[in-house]
Amino acid sequence: MPAYIVSVVQFTKMTPELKEYAQKSALLARSHGGRYIVRGKAAEILEGSGLTDKSVVILEFPTMEQLTGFVKGDEYQKSIKPLRAGTGIYDIAIFEAPPPAMQ
C-alpha cells in the first residue's frame, strides 16, 4: 500500500546547501521508489492563510518500508538532512494511503 511524506515548509534562508539538499534528497527518494506528487508553492490558496509563503512537498512511495528506508536511513539522516539546517521551519509527517474502500 502506498505511503506518503508530507512537508509544509516556510523557507527563511536560501543557501547553496539547501539547493544541494533538494537535489540529493530527490535522487535518494527516487532510489527508494519515491516520486513527487507536489513540490512547491500553491498555485492558488482558496481558503485560510496557513499556506501563505509556504512550500508543500508530497512524496509518494510504493510501500511504508521504502518510505522509512529513505527518511530514516543513515544516508538521509547523516549526510542529506543536515544540509537544510537553519533554512526554515519544517512540518513533516508520514501518512498511509486510505484503504481501497475509501479511494
**Close Cβ partners of 17 (under 8 Å, ≥ 6 residues apart):** 83, 84, 85, 87
Q: Across all residues in the chain, what is the average pLDDT?
A: 96
pLDDT confidence of residue 99 = 79
pTM of the model: 0.91
Residue 58 in this model has a pLDDT that exceeds 90: yes
What's the pLDDT score for residue 103?
Answer: 67
pLDDT tens by residue, 30-45: 999 999 999 999 999 9
Q: State pLDDT tens for residues 60-79.
A: 999 999 999 999 999 999 99
Mean pLDDT of 7-26: 97
3-state secondary structure of 75: helix
Q: What percent of the chain has pLDDT over 90?
A: 94
Instruction: Report d(CA 17, CA 33) in Å as an integer.
Output: 24
**Closest C-alpha among 69, 70, 58 to residue 24:** 70
